[in-house]
Structure 1
Amino acid sequence: MKRYIIALFLFSMLMVGCDKKLDLNSQKQEQVETYWQTAEQASAGVIAIYNSLIQDGTYMRMMPALTDARGDDFVGDSPWGDLVQTGKFTVMSTSGPVEWVWSQWYQLIYRANQVLTFVPKIEMDQALKDRLFGQAHFLRGLAYFTLANTYKTVPVILTPPVDRQDYYPATASEEVLWQQIIDDLRAAVELLPISYSTVSGPDANQTGRVTKGAAVGMLGKVFLYRKNWAAAAEQFRLLIEGPTLNTYRLMTDYRDNFKPTNENNAESLFEVQFADPETVGGTVFNYGGEPNANWKQVSSVGHTYAMDGFGYSDFLPTRGLYNEFKEERTIDGELDPRLLSTIASFEPGVSELAYGDVWKNPKSNIYPRKYTHDGIPGYTNENNGVENSGINYRILRYADVLLMYAEALNELGQTDQAYPYIQQVRDRAKLPDLASVKPNMTQEQMRDQIAHERFLELAIEGIRINDIIRWGWLYDPDKLAKLKENDNDFDTWRAGKEYLPIPQRELDLNRNLLPNSAN
């Protein structure tokens, strides 16, 4: 059984930090200044950073939803206009979900900044202090990485506010923003342990905390996104070849990466910890606000994505994704097994059930299955039919590392060397040997092949739109035509609208904040 580190903790001084009318002499501000005294308080401060990952604006629901919606693997099917408009690249800057994402990532940054500012003065075990710093750096780096991919340019805030002008941070340049992400992740790599099974202290043997491998993987991903291919390959090579970090492997069953069992497994470099209330308790949904001891630790993604009759069905997989899964059969002549782990579809003689019962929806319909409870033995609905999913959200998987390494090698002109790493992912899906069916690909052909492999392996994991943006597909007429063929939401895309707009309320309150291309 997984061991949860996200304890719901009464930490009243951890404000969101975006109230521009904050009374700097208030009692709450005095608590911030006087709180940080002991190792126990330092550890609790780091737990509070993790707590920000399980709220509605981060991974409880809206971060996956608003990211998946913009890819060509997902299309809106919701009465909630904000969700549909996000997929069509027409969402307004006054959208509530757009603001929640912004606010809760900056809440996380505010909490990380407190740890990094106030914990150095605490007298405590240095090894534990280093681990706490490493986690704070990683989580802040993850936050800025996510904000950069979501809004393109945002303020970079590295310390808690001291005076009134600190509540009006200016928009940073892309160069400053991405350099800060790199700096945070490099610090995390230096400070984090390979595993918590070998440490002593309150975090000993805990799963779910950030590790050195997670930091190396995310640093490699950042270099890849910035087209620093050699630096990216260097990081990924540490995870694949070692000598000390090559402990990851692909799970035999692809679906093990998206179930409430087998979590924090050998394929996972980092995942957000959720839990069923029947396991850890809680009566109040963890949407946001001040956490309290009655908070749940649940994910709403399953219920949001689940098919008609079992959930909100706010999104559907695109026919483009479904059809691409069917382009290639396994070596046994069967469907790609990832199809029915990703998409719920009626396939005569192969898949005719939904939630363990007969298929009740039109047989031509397709629905998301990944991150839902459909098809998992013992579940006949979405975990009691409410937003109570305990399925962890995976941030980085080893399969992604293998495909990114292959991409980096290809971009470095080592196309032939990319084949084996792609094949590891294909082997799990029992697909034919790529070097045999498509030998001697050119660099450009391999780019298209890697894009195809990533589309199928990483579908509905909040990755596709980031790939589309970094590859420049939206500004390539041929690629844009393909995106429109896969998902007609791209018919309403206009240049610059691939990002979420900066929330209007933030622009109204902060005279130093600049709009982005989506405003």
Structure 2
Amino acid sequence: MKNITKYIAISLTTACVLSCNPDLDRPNPNQPTVEVFWNNATDAEQGVNSIYSTFARGGFSRWMPMMFVLRSDEGYSGSPWSDLANAMGEFIQPDYNFEPVVDVWRDNYIGIFRANQVLDNVPEIDMDEELKARLLGEAQFLRGYFYYNLALLWGNVPLMLETSSPTDLPPTSQLPQVWEQIETDLLAAVAGLPVQHASSDDLGRATQGAARALLAKAYMQQRKYDQAEPHLQWLVNGEGAGVYDLTPGYRDNFLIHTENNIESVFEWQFAVNPTEVTDNDVDTPNHNYGTSISQFLAPPGIGWADGESRTWHIDEFLSEQTEDGERDPRLAVSLLYPFTDERGPDFTMIYGQTFTQRYGNSNQNRAWFRKFLNDHWKDEEGYRSPNNYRFIRYADVLLMYAETLNELGRTAEAYAHVDRVRQRVGLAPLSDVRPGLGQPQFLEQLKHERLVELLGEGHRWADLLRWGDLNDQLESRDPGFRNFEVGRHELLPIPQRDLDINPNLQQNPRW
């Protein structure tokens, strides 16, 4: 579905401009209106495409993945932009209008606004009913996903479920209400979305499997494991088992030439605009086909290195060898550091040069997240990477199912799903090396399995939150957590500019 990113984002407004002078209340004759746009199936499909195009906005294509990774104990920011370093990894944000954080808030609500337009207008269009149901299912999935992000980052947020106008002043909804709406949207998406799309032109669009996986995530965050189980069962042992599987090669999940593979449950689509001749940060027409995540995460001299990995988890990868006596291959896929090649800095390649050639004796204790970089096909980075962001992989689903079964007291059944993930990279089955674990011990093992399988992919924050592990005790492996205050830093502050214009909003606790 790379071509979805090529549609111009359609952001229609039904609001009029308020003014004391009625002579100024004149509609722009060149501006699209509801009456002239939402008329046929093409309009409906383009409206849905505009929702997907939200992923190319800076809040998504740059900042949100960094926030989820760097605010966890996986990473941090050593950026010379001190406000960025403080907000991303030190839990210090005196400016509640700090632009990168506000961009994430704003762009999730832009996506919600676009989804609401589809959900308000497409039902009235005379068109093929099967296509209509699918498009509405996509809109409901995407709205649920946007609220999922807001629930994890801000918690108590306004629920806007109809096309909004500039005069709307929605009240704050408490987190349980937000989760309830996410469930409602995703259940509707499950009912409306196909198991697979018939046309290759629709590759990358949301499917029933994506909706079930995200719904299971939402249930798990609320510890509703009994409600998550049937959706995960559908993916692992039911109809979805014939659609998804693990790729033979772990690194295939992060390369531009193996996108949308059998392990992909949902990924954001990025592309190179063939008409662009630059790869800088200057805004141009159709600029945002790609993502700048790689530019901000790449090592110094290649990118900005505004986000980098902690090194404590290297030992997690090295804690056991494969059945052939080799190092866990996920380490070299996950991180660039002096020993990405286990022979050392003279052999580790950093974008066409050895680590030693590029850095000499410096940077010996640093590591950078590799999965969404482009070092596998070029020796530089830029602001318009075509490398898709894999949001949900089937390996994640298998580990989610194992956690759910364990929480439901079915630990013996959970082993098989962890075994599949381990055996893909050559590790011995957990059922052989640690059989008969009790429920608490299995969860501790699963925390390790999720770390080494999903490092740097943006799931760690939700995992720590769900497990009740977000606290200042993480300081021993991430110094940024010395500033973490329980009851405050689980959530971000609502942007002050929104509070200033909307008296019905309430700030999050202790901000």
1:3 Cα deviation (Å)? Answer: 4.2
Match of 1:462 in 2: 458
Match of 2:351 in 1: 355
Identity %: 37
**In structure 2, distance between residues paired with 1:214 and 1:4:** 19
Match of 1:516 in 2: 508
Task: Identify which of 428, 438, 441 aligns with 1:442.
Answer: 438
> Aligned with 2:319: secondary structure?
coil
> Aligned with 2:121: secondary structure?
helix
> Aligned with 1:197: secondary structure?
coil
Q: Please give the per-residue CA displacement for 1:326-371, whole angstroms capped at 9, x wherever unaligned.
A: 2222222222111111111222526521123221223443222121
Task: Identify which of 303, 308, 313 aligns with 2:295.
Answer: 303
1:147 Cα deviation (Å)? Answer: 0.3
**In structure 2, distance between residues paired with 1:429 and 1:12:** 45
Give 1:123-162 correspondences, 5 Å limit. Answer: 123-161=126-164
Match of 2:191 in 1: 190
Q: Please give the per-residue CA displacement for 1:114-168, whole angstroms capped at 9, x wherever unaligned.
A: 100011111111111111100000000000011000101101110013683xx21
Structure 1, unmatched stretches of 5+, are 199-203
Q: Does the 8 A contact of 1:76 with 1:84 survive in 2? A: yes
Give 1:4-15 correspondences, 5 Å limit. Answer: 4-9=3-8, 11=10, 13=12
Give 1:155-304 correspondences, 5 Å limit. Answer: 155-161=158-164, 164=167, 167-197=168-198, 205-243=201-239, 246-278=242-274, 281=276, 294-304=286-296
**In structure 2, distance between residues paired with 1:253 and 1:421:** 18
**2:332 aligned with 1:340:** yes
**2:116 aligned with 1:110:** no
1:494 Cα deviation (Å)? Answer: 1.0
Q: Please give the per-residue CA displacement for 1:168-223, whole angstroms capped at 9, x wherever unaligned.
A: 1001122211111001001111111112226xxxxx64211111111111111111
1:435 Cα deviation (Å)? Answer: 1.8
Closer, same or farther: CA 149–287 of 1 in aligned 2, 3 Å: farther
1:14 Cα deviation (Å)? Answer: 5.6
Question: Which amino acid letter does the alignment assign opposite residue 90 of structure 1?
Answer: I
Match of 2:76 in 1: 75
1:94 Cα deviation (Å)? Answer: 2.0
Task: Identify which of 100, 104, 119 aligns with 1:101.
Answer: 104
1:32 Cα deviation (Å)? Answer: 3.7
Closer, same or farther: CA 160–284 of 1 in aligned 2, 3 Å: farther
If asked which structure has higher relative contact order (CA below 8 Å, sep 6+), I would say 1
Q: Does the 8 A contact of 2:5 with 2:271 survive in 1? A: no
Closer, same or farther: CA 94–273 of 1 in aligned 2, 3 Å: same
Query: Which has the higher mean CA deviation after the structures are superposed, 135-144 or 492-501?
Result: 492-501
Q: Does the 8 A contact of 2:13 with 2:165 survive in 1? A: no
Question: Which amino acid letter does the alignment assign opposite residue 339 of structure 1?
Answer: L
Match of 2:316 in 1: 324
Question: Which amino acid letter does the alignment assign opposite residue 41 of structure 1?
Answer: D
Closer, same or farther: CA 454–307 of 1 in aligned 2, 3 Å: same
Match of 1:453 in 2: 449
Q: Does the 8 A contact of 1:72 with 1:321 survive in 2? A: no
Structure 2, unmatched stretches of 5+, are none
Q: Please give the per-residue CA displacement for 1:215-255, whole angstroms capped at 9, x wherever unaligned.
A: 11111111111111122111111011123553111111111
Closer, same or farther: CA 452–518 of 1 in aligned 2, 3 Å: farther
Match of 1:201 in 2: none
1:264 Cα deviation (Å)? Answer: 0.5
> Aligned with 1:110: secondary structure?
helix
1:474 Cα deviation (Å)? Answer: 2.5
Question: Which amino acid letter does the alignment assign opposite residue 37 of structure 1?
Answer: N
**In structure 2, distance between residues paired with 1:20 and 1:474:** 45
Instruction: Report the number of matched residues.
Output: 495
**In structure 2, distance between residues paired with 1:286 and 1:192:** 36
> Aligned with 1:5: secondary structure?
helix
> Aligned with 1:161: secondary structure?
coil
Question: Which amino acid letter does the alignment assign opposite residue 469 of structure 1?
Answer: L
Closer, same or farther: CA 21–154 of 1 in aligned 2, 3 Å: farther
**In structure 2, distance between residues paired with 1:63 and 1:315:** 12
1:294 Cα deviation (Å)? Answer: 2.9
**2:489 aligned with 1:497:** yes
Q: Which runs of 4+ in 1 moved over 6 A?
A: 19-25, 282-288
Question: Which amino acid letter does the alignment assign opposite residue 440 of structure 2?
Answer: E
**In structure 1, distance between residues paired with 2:268 and 2:325:** 36
1:287 Cα deviation (Å)? Answer: 9.3
**In structure 2, distance between residues paired with 1:503 and 1:229:** 33
Closer, same or farther: CA 431–74 of 1 in aligned 2, 3 Å: same
1:270 Cα deviation (Å)? Answer: 0.6
Match of 1:41 in 2: 43
Q: Does the 8 A contact of 1:282 with 1:294 survive in 2? A: no
Q: Does the 8 A contact of 1:56 with 1:286 survive in 2? A: no
Q: Does the 8 A contact of 1:4 with 1:207 survive in 2? A: no
Give 1:358-507 correspondences, 5 Å limit. Answer: 358-359=354-355, 360-361=358-359, 362=362, 363-374=364-375, 376=376, 378-382=377-381, 386-474=382-470, 480-481=472-473, 483-495=474-486, 496-507=488-499
Question: Which amino acid letter does the alignment assign opposite residue 483 of structure 2?
Answer: T
Normalising by structure 1, we get a TM-score of 0.90
RMSD across aligned positions (CA): 2.5
Closer, same or farther: CA 415–40 of 1 in aligned 2, 3 Å: same
Question: Which amino acid letter does the alignment assign opposite residue 475 of structure 2?
Answer: K
**In structure 1, distance between residues paired with 2:166 and 2:110:** 18
